[in-house]
Amino acid sequence: GHRKVIAEVCRLAEERGLGSAVVTFDRHPASVVRPESAPLLLTDLEQKLELLAATGVDQTLVVPFDEQRAAETAEDFVTNVLVGCLKVKLIVVGEDFHFGFRRLGNVALLREMGQALGFAVTGLGLVGMDGEPARDHEQVSSTFIRRALGRGDLARANAMLGRPYEVRGTVVKGDQRGRTLGFPTANVRVDASILLPADGVYAGRVELPSGERRDAALSLGTRPHFFNDGDLLLEAHLIDFSGDLYGQEVNVSFEKNLRPQQKFENLEALVAQLEKDVASATQWLQ
């Protein structure tokens, strides 16, 4: 998907002695155009910029997306932003790319404008998980990644992403029930705009502000064990770790779906399962 487009941008820029750039919006366009059906995000802006920087692209232009931008025609966006601001010589997009007011802009329009304004256009075909042309349901896109995460198919989502799915959040004080059971957890509050995977128990890793990454058993859900209090929680038990993380921002990566959430008859059954979860996570992450 996007990784293929960016790789081609970098390749062609180097080949032609040009600088490479990515254009992205701050605010998902759907959150302005149709907020009632806007998708949850796979990254926040800071994460997105970090991921883009890691691709080797020279620069990223972040364009604020608001009502005025939503009403801008595709022609004006090309003229004002791509040509006027970036002075583009070559544009690389997916062949199904649409942009501008009512999504009327497409690859054909870009090519037509490119002939008049002096830039070339490359449209890339849809790709599957193997990097080859996509076949039906095998397309790699943010929509398919969201669907996979939503149904708990973490392996497929991570394969499409090319990395473990990761969210960022702040460690907040909980009721410390995990600590009383011998499994202290960091309760991570994630912004409501970010997509969380399906409820379940996962093997994962937690990156601390220092950059240190710790193996963890992750629990995501409404805590059905037997409390049934209805609060959606992301709890991370950092394996062989002791320390105070309250108020700190951490990155949580989901590496392996271990089991669905379940309710337990008593504390003993819950503790026995938590021991199995930590053992499974430790084994898988080695």
**CB proximity list for 115: less than 8 A, separation 6 or greater:** none
Identify the residue whose tokens are 């128990």. 201
Question: Where are the domain boundaries for CATH 2.40.30.30 in the chain?
Answer: 165-285
- 24 in Cβ contact with 69 (< 8 Å): no
How high is the pLDDT of residue 182? Answer: 63
Predicted TM-score (pTM) of this structure:
0.85
In tens, the pLDDT along 147-201 reads 999 999 999 999 999 999 999 999 998 766 666 666 788 999 999 999 999 999 9
Mean pLDDT of the residues in the chain = 90
How high is the pLDDT of residue 177? Answer: 67
What does DSSP assign to residue 263?
-
**CB proximity list for 128: less than 8 A, separation 6 or greater:** 134, 135, 138, 139, 140
* Position 227 pLDDT exceeds 50: no
The CATH code of the domain at 2-140 is: 3.40.50.620
Between 175 and 215, where is the model more confident?
A: 215
Asked: is 165-285 a CATH 2.40.30.30 domain? The reply is yes
* Position 11 pLDDT exceeds 80: yes
How high is the pLDDT of residue 137? Answer: 54
Q: What is the mean pLDDT of residues 85-93?
A: 95
Question: Where are the domain boundaries for CATH 3.40.50.620 in the chain?
Answer: 2-140
For CA atoms 104, 105, 108, 112, the dihedral sign is positive
How high is the pLDDT of residue 223? Answer: 57
